[in-house]
C-alpha cells in the first residue's frame, strides 16, 4: 500500500487513465467528481442533475473497483470562479477561469476533502509534472497545462500525483485502450470552458450582469488617435488581439489593441500595435523556495500554448512583478496569466494587468 489518493475524475480520458494508473501502482484510490454548476436542462421537480460526464466517471470507477463520490461544490465554484469570470469581463479583461478553478476549487477545496479522508495525495489528469515538490511542464509540449497551475498553494505540490503529465496525449489514449477504458479512450477533447456550453460566454455575462450592463452596452470603436470608426454592442464581447467583429474597409486588417471600460471604447489598430515589450503581473504566487529577484532572467508565457519568451525581471513590489521581454510579444491581454519558467520548472505566475 502506497497510501491513499483522492483523484478528481471528470469522466474524460486523462483523469480516467490517471485513476487507472494509480490503481495499478497500488495506491488506495478514492475517486470523486466535482459538481461545479447546475446543469441547464433540469426539471423543476428534480433539483439535481445527472451529467453524462459524471456517469462516465462513475462507470470508470466501477470498472476500476474504487469508491466514487460526487461532491457538490456549486456554491464555492460560483463564488470563486464564475463570479470572478463575470467581474473580469465587466472590467474589460479576459479571464481564465481554469486558473481560478485550479487555485481555489481543485487544489484548495478539494485538498480539504483529501485531508478529511486522510488522503496524503491528490491526483488529477493534468498534463504537468510534480517532481520533488516542484511543478514542471508536462512532457507533451502540445498538451502542457502547467500554465493553468501557477496559482496553487505551494505546499500542495508535493502531494500532487499527475500520472498523465509523464506522457503524451497519444500515449494516454493508447493506455486507455490498453486499460480497457474504451468508454473514454476516444472521447473528443473538450477545449471549451466547462460552465460555458457552446463557447457562448456572452450568454453567461447577460445572465449575470443583465443586458443593460455597461460591458454589454453599445460604445465606440476608436483608433489609438481617437478617431471613431464604428460602433460595437458591448466591449465584453471583445478581447485584445481579436479581429472578428471589427469594421472592414481599411488597407490593413484591424485588431483590438485595448478595451477602455470607463468610456466603453474598443481601441483598434494594426497588427504592430499589438506588440508589447513590458508587462506587469499582479497577485503573483511563487512555487519555488528562491523566487527570481530584480535583474534576474526568466522565461515567461503570456498565453496558453504561446512560446516561452525570454525576459528580465525589472521590479518586484510585493506580489506585483514587472518584466521586460527580450523580443516583443503580440497581444498581451489583461486578465490572462503570465507564468514564469526556468526551463521546464514553473517558478510562479500571476495575472497580467
Partner 1 sequence: MPQPPIYLDHAATTPVRPEVLEAMLPYFSAKFGNASSTHRWGREARAATDAARERIAACLGAEPDEICLTSGGTEADNLAVLGGWRVQQGLGRPGIVTTPIEHKAVLASAHQAAREGGEERLIAVDASGVINLDSARRHIRDDVAVVSVMWVNNETGVIQPVAELAAMAKAAGAVFHTDAVQAFGKLPVDARSIPFDFLSVSGHKFGAPKSIGAVYVRRGTALAPLFFGGTQDRGRRPGTENVPMAVALATAMELALTEREATCARLRALRDRLQASLLACVPGLVVHGCAPERVPHMLHLSVPGTDSESMLMALDLQGVAASSGSACQSGSVTPSQVLSAMGVAEDLASAAVRMSLGSLTTGEQIDRVVAVFPDVVRSARAMAGSFG
Site for partner 1, rule CB under 8 A: 30, 35, 44-51, 54, 58, 67, 69-72, 75-76, 108-109, 112-113, 115-118
101 catalytic per annotation:
yes
What minimum distance in Å lies between the beta carbon of 73 and partner 1? 8
Choice between 48 and 326, CB closer to partner 1? 48
What minimum distance in Å lies between the beta carbon of 54 and partner 1? 5
Listed residue (31, 41, 27) closest to 10, CA to CA: 31
3-state secondary structure 287-332: CCCCCCCCCCEEEEECCCCCCCEEEEEEEEECCEEEEEEEEEEECC
The rounded distance, in Å, linking the Cα atoms of 174 and 223 is 51
What minimum distance in Å lies between the beta carbon of 187 and partner 1? 19
What minimum distance in Å lies between the beta carbon of 162 and partner 1? 21
Q: What is the dihedral of CA 274, 142, 159, 1, to 10 degrees?
A: 170
49 catalytic per annotation:
no
Choice between 76 and 260, CB closer to partner 1? 76
Choice between 71 and 288, CB closer to partner 1? 71
Choice between 159 and 301, CB closer to partner 1? 159
Backbone angles phi, psi at 52, to 5 degrees: -55, -40
Q: Cell 510579444 maps to which residue? A: 329
Choice between 57 and 205, CB closer to partner 1? 57
Choice between 38 and 186, CB closer to partner 1? 38
Buried-state track 141-162, b at ≥16 Cβ within 10 A, e below 16: eebbbbbbbbbbeeebbebbbb
What minimum distance in Å lies between the beta carbon of 160 and partner 1? 18
What minimum distance in Å lies between the beta carbon of 328 and partner 1? 42
Choice between 19 and 167, CB closer to partner 1? 19
Listed residue (254, 253, 263, 261) closest to 223, CA to CA: 254
The whole-angstrom distance between residue 215's C-alpha and the CA centroid of its chain comes to 23
What minimum distance in Å lies between the beta carbon of 79 and partner 1? 11
The rounded distance, in Å, linking the Cα atoms of 29 and 9 is 11
Listed residue (162, 122, 155) closest to 4, CA to CA: 122
Residue of 48, 49, 98, 194 marked active site: 194
Residue of 48, 49, 98, 101 marked active site: 101
In which order are the strands placed within the sheet that holds 219-223? Answer: 228-232, 219-223, 265-269, 255-260
Q: Where do runs of H (alpha helix) occur along the chain?
A: 13-24, 52-64, 74-77, 83-90, 97-100, 110-116, 154-157, 169-178, 182-185, 201-209
Number of other residues whose CB lies within 10 A of the CB of residue 308: 17
Name, in order, each residue with C-beta under 8 angstroms of 48's C-beta and a sequence gap of 6 or more.
Answer: 42
Active site residues: 101, 194
Amino acid at each position: 500500500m502506497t497510501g491513499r489518493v483522492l483523484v478528481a475524475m471528470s469522466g474524460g480520458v486523462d483523469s480516467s487513465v490517471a485513476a487507472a494508473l494509480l490503481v495499478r501502482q497500488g495506491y488506495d484510490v478514492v475517486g470523486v467528481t466535482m459538481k461545479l454548476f447546475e446543469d441547464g436542462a433540469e426539471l423543476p421537480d428534480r433539483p439535481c442533475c445527472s451529467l453524462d460526464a459524471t456517469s462516465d466517471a462513475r462507470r470508470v470507477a466501477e470498472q476500476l473497483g474504487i469508491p466514487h463520490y460526487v461532491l457538490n461544490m456549486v456554491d464555492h465554484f460560483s463564488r470563486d470562479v464564475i463570479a470572478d469570470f463575470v467581474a473580469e469581463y465587466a472590467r474589460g479583461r479576459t479571464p481564465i477561469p481554469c486558473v481560478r478553478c485550479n487555485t481555489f476549487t481543485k487544489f484548495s477545496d478539494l485538498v480539504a476533502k483529501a485531508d478529511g479522508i486522510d488522503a496524503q495525495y491528490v491526483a488529477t489528469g493534468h498534463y504537468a509534472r510534480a517532481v520533488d515538490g516542484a511543478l514542471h511542464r508536462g512532457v507533451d509540449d502540445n498538451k502542457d497545462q502547467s500554465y493553468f497551475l501557477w496559482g496553487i498553494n505551494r505546499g500542495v505540490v508535493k502531494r500532487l500525483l499527475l500520472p498523465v503529465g509523464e506522457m503524451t496525449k497519444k500515449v494516454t489514449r493508447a493506455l486507455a485502450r490498453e486499460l480497457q477504458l474504451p468508454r473514454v479512450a476516444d472521447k473528443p477533447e473538450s477545449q471549451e470552458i466547462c460552465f460555458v456550453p457552446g463557447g457562448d460566454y456572452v450568454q453567461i455575462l447577460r445572465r449575470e450582469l443583465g443586458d443593460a450592463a455597461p460591458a454589454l452596452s453599445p460604445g465606440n470603436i476608436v483608433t489609438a488617435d481617437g478617431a471613431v470608426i464604428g460602433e460595437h454592442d458591448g466591449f465584453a464581447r471583445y478581447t485584445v488581439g481579436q479581429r472578428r467583429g471589427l469594421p472592414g474597409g481599411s488597407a490593413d486588417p484591424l485588431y483590438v489593441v485595448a478595451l477602455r471600460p470607463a468610456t466603453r471604447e474598443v481601441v483598434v489598430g494594426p497588427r504592430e500595435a499589438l506588440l508589447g515589450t513590458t508587462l506587469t503581473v499582479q497577485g503573483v504566487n511563487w512555487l519555488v523556495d528562491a523566487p527570481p529577484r530584480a535583474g534576474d532572467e526568466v522565461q515567461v508565457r503570456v498565453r496558453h500554448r504561446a512560446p516561452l519568451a525570454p525576459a528580465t525581471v525589472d521590479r518586484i513590489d510585493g506580489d506585483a512583478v514587472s518584466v521586460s521581454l527580450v523580443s516583443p510579444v503580440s497581444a498581451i491581454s489583461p486578465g490572462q496569466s503570465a507564468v514564469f519558467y526556468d526551463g521546464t520548472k514553473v517558478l510562479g505566475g500571476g495575472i497580467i494587468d
